[in-house]
């Protein structure tokens, strides 16, 4: 019973925390067996991202090496594992071995973007992906 209570409590806390994710386009590259691939990230969080790629979609579970995401102020180099690959559409990547400094930079970027989104909504405006 205590284990069950702890699990329920953890899930409740997790649900109450605001998700740290931003839906914006960022250019990215990664290395495959055939060389460098280029695409764009359409959703970014401190734990992972979604890469839109019509041509090169790795299978679920494959490691993504040397993933470079071009943020507005800098480039971030990451590694990850492919999740939910959909041929002709794209795939999700869960970051692995991410250092604290990089995770904090991603969190800060996302917080700023979320704050801008809230301000824009409160003013009644909307911004498309292409404006970023």
Task: Sketch the domain layout of the chain as residue ranges.
Answer: 20-123
Percentage of the chain surpassing pLDDT 70? 80
Task: Using a cut of 0.85, tell me whether the model's pTM lies above it.
Answer: no
Predicted pLDDT at 132: 44
Predicted pLDDT at 16: 40
Q: Any idea which architecture 20-123 has in CATH? A: Beta Barrel (2.40)
CB atoms within 10 A of CB 23: 13
Is pLDDT of 12 > 70?
no
Predicted pLDDT at 62: 94
Query: Around 66, how many Cα atoms within 13 Å sit in the side-chain half-sphere?
Result: 9
CB atoms within 10 A of CB 33: 5
Is pLDDT of 85 > 70?
yes
Give the pLDDT mean for 103-119.
88
Q: Can you tell me the distance from the alpha carbon of 70 to that of 67, in angstroms, rounded to the nearest whole number? A: 10
Contacts of 102 (CB under 8 A, 6+ apart): 76, 78
The separation between CA 83 and the C-alpha centre of its own chain, rounded to angstroms, equals 12
Is pLDDT of 114 > 60?
yes
């Amino acid at each position: 019973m205590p284990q069950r209570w702890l699990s329920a409590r953890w899930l409740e806390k997790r649900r109450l925390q605001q998700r740290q994710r931003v839906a914006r386009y960022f250019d990215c590259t990664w290395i495959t067996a055939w060389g460098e691939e280029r695409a764009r990230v359409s959703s970014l969080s401190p734990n992972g991202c979604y890469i839109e790629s019509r041509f090169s979609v790795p299978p679920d579970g494959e490691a993504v090496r040397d993933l470079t995401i071009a943020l507005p102020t800098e480039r971030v180099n990451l590694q990850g594992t492919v999740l939910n690959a959909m041929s002709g559409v794209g795939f999700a990547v869960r970051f692995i071995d991410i250092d604290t400094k990089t995770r904090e930079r991603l969190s800060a970027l996302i917080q700023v973007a979320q704050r801008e989104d809230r301000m824009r909504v409160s003013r009644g405006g909307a911004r498309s992906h292409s404006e970023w």
